Structure 1
Amino acid sequence: MGMFHLAGVAALAACATAAPAETSAAQPKSFLKELGNSTWIIGNGIWNMTQGRQYGVKLWYKGKDRVGPTATGHYVSYNGAASDLNWTSAAIADSGRDWINVKFTAKEGDFHWVIHDDLAGAYQYFVNHALPTLGEFRTLWRLDNVSFPNGHTNVKDGELPPLSEYAAATNVQDETWQKADGTFLTKYDWSAFIRDQTYYGVYGDEVGSWYINPGKDYYNGDHLKEELMVHRESKTGDAVQLNMIHGTHYLARSSDNFTDGKTWGPWLWYLNDGNKADADRRWRQEDKAWPYEWFKNTAYQSRGSVSGKLLLSDGRPASGAAVFLGDSNSALSTADQGKDYYYTAYADKQGRFTIDDVRTGTYGLYAWGNGGSIADVTTSFVQNDVVVSKRKKTDLKSLKWTVTDKSKRIFQIGDFDRTSRGFALSGPTPFEHGRIAKTPGNLTYTVDRSRSSDWFFGQSNLGTWSINFNLKNVPESATGARLYTSLAGFSSGTKSNILVNNEKIGNISSNAVLLVSSQDTYRGATQAGEWRNLQWDVKKELLKSGDNKVDITVTESTQWRGWLWDSVVLEWV
């Protein structure tokens, strides 16, 4: 079968170049061949793939089928595995002297492969026409586990767990197994912050398959958007390379409708001999070339820039602030925005920021603290109706960010940066299943004596975390106090009461404060999920000169569910 297929591909390549002598040099060697019965072959002289109605079932590269006898191959789907796109036709939509653009059409939209004669791999993009309201939309490869035994992201590299380990372990949760030694196997340990990715994929000694996404404006969510990147398929052993172009693995309510013509991509799917240094070089090459001049799409090529300077109302520059360009006049959090195009940046030490190559349109500008000299800032900045015009520089000049009076701060635990960084067990590995179970049920933190590293990244177990603090006096001018319990993530199933000097002022519970569960702690997130800032009024008479305390008492606990801590702040109002 393999010899016949390779010979057939050679013949197809020859047919693709067959032309009168005077024009043969202008004909690409890349090809599309229809075999009938909703089956096609695409590729070039380096690789080729056999595409069926749903799945790319064979990938020939370096003399072998890299999908293998049991793996599914390549496909596009939404809302999990329930809805794989069915291709009704394929055609060469455009071409040049050394490339073709192959368009596969489904009722939901068109998936394109831009194949160059000399490229191991292809550029890919999807144009929406009729996708339903969705949370997850992805393209992916499920590949041969012998050719691709290893996985790589920007934070994790190494062997994917062999299929035999799953067979000997006990399933304890969705795609999570416990081994005899008490450790866990889970695909979610291969998650990462998606906007931090350079190149990622699966590889072995002779072959590597990589996704390179230099332009990330088609992703949903903000700087802290996390996604599953690669993993071992537990039932078949396939090496899975995910391209979650609209994902929800660690979010609460990201579900969107898309306009006709919404485009994800282009990105590069890249093949090599498994060399990570080569994949890194290719990433740098693609990043430098983005946005791609060759992509002749009017909306894609229509871009401008946005700049400005964020200044806090107390006179400080918003040094290092996270800056997000998203939906204007939106009721959604920045994590949950996803219907259009989104851009992220960080301000410099003076609070200045510039975001280049922004698609033209009207945006909302958002900013929040990212630690450092503004780790005390509990407010966020929003400016709506920011207009970006083609080839124009939108200069927003100085932007005033209102903050609370630092002199009214009673205490603060941890940076107010929407992450658990700096707390015990929060890193350096950002994902580890079950780590929240290692945090204590009971803990005492004494203000001015304890450090942030004495507080833990998450809370789940039954017990009380007490914050002891001393007040020299209760200011006459104060009308009360405000307690911020800022959460970097929350998975429902664990509940707590919040008490000030033994009087309950609130609780952390999906029922009590209308917290929608996000899929973070039980999927192993240790630094961020979906951020929530819970604020509680504290009556003035509850506080007194001398010793005081805040208790956060877990009254109900569900294994691996709870919350990730961002910061706890108490201030006078």
Structure 2
Amino acid sequence: MAKMGVKMHFRKHHVVVDNGIVQLTLTNPGGYVTGVKYNGIDNILESQNDESNRGYWDLVWSTSESPGTTGTFERIEGTSCEVIVETEDQVELSFLRTWDSTLEGKHVPLKIDKRFVLLRGSSGFYSYAIYEHLEGFPAFNIDETRIAFKLRKDKFHYMAMSDDRQRYMPLPDDRLPDRGKPLAYPEAVLLVNPVEPEFKGEVDDKYQYSCETKDLKVHGWISTDPPIGFWQITPSNEFRTGGPTKQELTSHVGPVNLAMFVSAHYAGNDLVIKFSKGEQWKKVFGPVFMYLNSTSTGEDPFTLWNDAKNQMLEEVAKWPYSFPASNDFQQAHERGVISGRLLVYDRFISDKHTPANGANIGLAPPGDPGSWERENKGYQFWTKTDEQGRFSIQHILEGTYNLYAWVNGFIGDYKNSTTITITPGCDIELDDLVYEPPRDGPTLWEIGIPDRSAAEFYIPDPDPIYTNQFLVNDPNRFRQYGLWERYATLYPGGDLVFTVGESDYTKDWFFAHVTRKKDNNTYEKTTWTIKFKLNSVNNDETYKLRLALASAQVSDLQVRVNDPNMNLPLYSTGIIGGDNAIARHGIHGLSWLFNIDIPGTVLISNGENSIYLTQANGGTPFRGVMYDYIRLEGSALAYSWSHECV
């Protein structure tokens, strides 16, 4: 039976597109999605909401003088509608809005072209947008931009965003004052009188469903009556900011489904895009695919999740899509490929170059080593190396890049020494690349695993009054609400002390260095102590402390050696960080690496030494750091002499 062709017709204030499987209704000329008809349901979106609050693109923007991560919320409303493609196989609609000086201060100074695409035989629809900042446009900041869908709360009760995070969800009503108790920040609510008693005593918090963008390919909702699913599939992360480890929101109570493109989540002000006056910039966000599926009566509706994952793999295989009609979206033949092999050389581990197995490697706009993590205007293309350290990065947009990498088990960031220019159709094979991680001498001791995460450290059980049952087991236990408060409970009489050679970092190193709550509801600085012995110390040499952080939130981390009361620390980071990962259950935010010289004269030979780590900025429960990895290196000179003597 032939698939029905795509049909379109205009109403007074709407345009309707239908392929016999999905019918899409949008406002004209605004481009808000007001209706999605599928499988006998007239509208799977929440029709009780205003038409502008069902399916929409939005952003948060601020003036160039704004220092923070918040601003003016604006739904992106088109001022003109144009039919770009109208055939039996495809309809593509453009909803355009531009900017001129009469709109200064009223609307975001961008030209935005929202596109919606429906294909013949497709069980869903696509959306993408072209954002452009033109000469003559004023300076401003983009704090956030995304697509949001509000589904029917009487139908969609089950959410799935990974194999280990899927569940029946509370209702939005449960967050209202008579049913929910606000907690330490507005996103978190303790459910005290929910509609469904099974949720009583749990915390609802949208950040419990965050996901690293490298894993953020499919998420959505299931209705059991009738059994249908609504899924958002993102086949490429090239247009998202902050690289593969940037964390973003997915789906949350509402039922809400989000496609996040730009945000300060788990990063802070570093990921706010800042434009100067007249700066010329253009970027394509998407396409993303809103996929709908269903099962026959009697079938298990939760098989819809497996079907959505399979559809995601199909969409990934189709990337880059061939159907977008905008010339700004580059097709496969306009893109390039780069491949090679990454090796690691650490002479204090091996005298050979070893393959960088499982390394994250990618192209991002030119910058300093590690700048990809804070990059927010261009495109990024990432993959992982195989066991031999080999990699191939496909479908790279034309442009100039640096090649960046980081390798689990080794601190620091790799960056190739020259820029790489990608031209249409190019296939670049690089010579072997060698990463030499920071190293001054042999390891005297180490705590943790250099993997840009605090997940290997001790994650406590949550307070029973806040426990969310579906997060009780690894690998999601760090997502429980209120874990920062467990520190004072576990260390009531004094701060953490870790003894090298005796303590176990998986049990004795709390996952977050937080402030201490006092009886008067104030929060004070805390000092952690690392005790260690050295058989010998060369007073003429300098030792190196490598301090890698997985997160920092308005923190001042100070380092003292063998004297906790010295007025001036040996080293201070100053106030760093704004990723808020402690409050938002992130286990990491942005990474930091500090390389600290310790003179041999301050160390004790054949006795006990202590390094004191003080997070000196108190005031709130969320100020603190998460450690990734700590290492003390000995004298390279002494090491070389000892080996010569052998």
Show the counterpart of 1:204.
Answer: 223
The whole-number CA distance in structure 2 between the counterparts of 1:100 and 1:293 is 14
Q: Check conservation: 1:28, 1:100, Cα contact below 8 A.
A: no
Taking only aligned residues, the RMSD between alpha carbons, in angstroms, comes to 2.8
The whole-number CA distance in structure 2 between the counterparts of 1:501 and 1:81 is 50
The whole-number CA distance in structure 2 between the counterparts of 1:508 and 1:34 is 68
Show the counterpart of 1:525.
Answer: 586
Tell whether 2:317 aligns with 1:300: no
Deviation sequence 1:209-251 (CA, Å, 0-9, x none) = 111111221111122110011111xxxxx31100002222111
Amino acid in structure 2 at the alignment position of 1:335:
E
SS at match of 1:204: strand
Q: 1:120 to 1:514 in 2, by over 3 A?
A: same
Q: 1:382 to 1:565 in 2, by over 3 A?
A: farther
The whole-number CA distance in structure 2 between the counterparts of 1:169 and 1:433 is 15
Q: Check conservation: 1:347, 1:353, Cα contact below 8 A.
A: yes
Show the counterpart of 1:76.
Answer: 57
Show the counterpart of 1:321.
Answer: 359
Show the counterpart of 1:334.
Answer: 372
Tell whether 2:45 aligns with 1:67: yes
Tell whether 2:288 aligns with 1:267: yes
**Higher mean C-alpha deviation, range 272-281 or range 242-251:** 272-281
Show the counterpart of 2:485.
Answer: 437
Deviation sequence 1:535-556 (CA, Å, 0-9, x none) = 3332221111121111223453
Deviation sequence 1:337-362 (CA, Å, 0-9, x none) = 12111011222233222211111211
Show the counterpart of 2:531.
Answer: 468
Show the counterpart of 1:368.
Answer: 406
Amino acid in structure 1 at the alignment position of 2:449:
D
SS at match of 1:529: coil
**Higher mean C-alpha deviation, range 82-91 or range 52-61:** 52-61
Show the counterpart of 2:20.
Answer: 45
Q: 1:378 to 1:90 in 2, by over 3 A?
A: closer
Deviation sequence 1:238-271 (CA, Å, 0-9, x none) = 3110000222211121122585542112221111
TM-score normalized by the length of structure 2: 0.76
Instruction: Report sequence identity in percent.
Output: 24
Show the counterpart of 2:577.
Answer: 516
Q: Check conservation: 1:109, 1:130, Cα contact below 8 A.
A: no
Show the counterpart of 2:91.
Answer: 100
Deviation (angstroms), 1:488: 0.7
Q: Check conservation: 2:543, 2:600, Cα contact below 8 A.
A: yes
SS at match of 2:432: strand
Show the counterpart of 1:542.
Answer: 602
The whole-number CA distance in structure 1 between the counterparts of 2:309 and 2:367 is 39
Q: 1:231 to 1:507 in 2, by over 3 A?
A: farther
Deviation (angstroms), 1:156: 1.4
Show the counterpart of 1:174.
Answer: 186
Show the counterpart of 1:120.
Answer: 123
Q: Check conservation: 2:267, 2:590, Cα contact below 8 A.
A: yes
Deviation (angstroms), 1:57: 2.6
The whole-number CA distance in structure 1 between the counterparts of 2:9 and 2:596 is 62
Show the counterpart of 1:191.
Answer: 210
**Higher mean C-alpha deviation, range 423-432 or range 562-571:** 423-432
SS at match of 1:262: strand
Deviation (angstroms), 1:100: 1.0
Tell whether 2:419 aligns with 1:419: no
Q: Check conservation: 2:561, 2:570, Cα contact below 8 A.
A: no
Amino acid in structure 2 at the alignment position of 1:355:
I
Q: Check conservation: 2:404, 2:413, Cα contact below 8 A.
A: no
Q: Check conservation: 1:310, 1:401, Cα contact below 8 A.
A: yes
Deviation (angstroms), 1:204: 1.5
Q: 1:283 aligns with which of 308, 312, 320?
A: 312
The whole-number CA distance in structure 2 between the counterparts of 1:93 and 1:465 is 62
Deviation (angstroms), 1:517: 1.3
Deviation (angstroms), 1:520: 1.6
Q: Check conservation: 1:359, 1:388, Cα contact below 8 A.
A: yes
The whole-number CA distance in structure 2 between the counterparts of 1:143 and 1:291 is 28
Show the counterpart of 1:502.
Answer: 563
Q: 2:271 aligns with which of 249, 254, 262?
A: 254
Deviation (angstroms), 1:112: 1.1
Deviation (angstroms), 1:144: 1.2
Deviation (angstroms), 1:184: 2.4
Q: Check conservation: 1:387, 1:394, Cα contact below 8 A.
A: no
**Higher mean C-alpha deviation, range 171-180 or range 540-549:** 171-180
Deviation (angstroms), 1:383: 3.5
Q: 1:345 to 1:29 in 2, by over 3 A?
A: closer
The whole-number CA distance in structure 1 between the counterparts of 2:214 and 2:9 is 33
Deviation (angstroms), 1:397: 1.0
**Higher mean C-alpha deviation, range 405-414 or range 148-157:** 405-414
Amino acid in structure 1 at the alignment position of 2:271:
S
The whole-number CA distance in structure 2 between the counterparts of 1:44 and 1:176 is 41
The whole-number CA distance in structure 1 between the counterparts of 2:231 and 2:528 is 45
Q: 1:500 to 1:507 in 2, by over 3 A?
A: closer
The whole-number CA distance in structure 2 between the counterparts of 1:521 and 1:508 is 24
Deviation (angstroms), 1:405: 4.3
Q: 1:522 to 1:453 in 2, by over 3 A?
A: same
Amino acid in structure 1 at the alignment position of 2:500:
V
Show the counterpart of 1:15.
Answer: none
Tell whether 2:155 aligns with 1:147: yes
Q: 1:157 to 1:392 in 2, by over 3 A?
A: same
Report the count of equivalent residues. Answer: 533
SS at match of 2:353: coil
Q: 1:563 to 1:293 in 2, by over 3 A?
A: same
Q: 1:127 to 1:32 in 2, by over 3 A?
A: farther
The whole-number CA distance in structure 1 between the counterparts of 2:15 and 2:499 is 68
Amino acid in structure 2 at the alignment position of 1:240:
V
Q: Check conservation: 1:35, 1:41, Cα contact below 8 A.
A: no
The whole-number CA distance in structure 2 between the counterparts of 1:380 and 1:331 is 6
Q: 1:519 to 1:507 in 2, by over 3 A?
A: farther
Q: Residues 340-355 of structure 1: matches in 2 within 5 Å?
A: 340-355=378-393
Q: Residues 21-32 of structure 1: matches in 2 within 5 Å?
A: 28-32=5-9
Q: Check conservation: 1:199, 1:280, Cα contact below 8 A.
A: yes
Deviation sequence 1:411-432 (CA, Å, 0-9, x none) = 1111112111311119511533
Tell whether 2:145 aligns with 1:137: yes
The whole-number CA distance in structure 2 between the counterparts of 1:414 and 1:399 is 27
Q: 2:505 aligns with which of 438, 442, 452?
A: 452
Tell whether 2:391 aligns with 1:410: no
The whole-number CA distance in structure 1 between the counterparts of 2:86 and 2:512 is 53
Show the counterpart of 2:394.
Answer: 356
The whole-number CA distance in structure 2 between the counterparts of 1:432 and 1:254 is 25
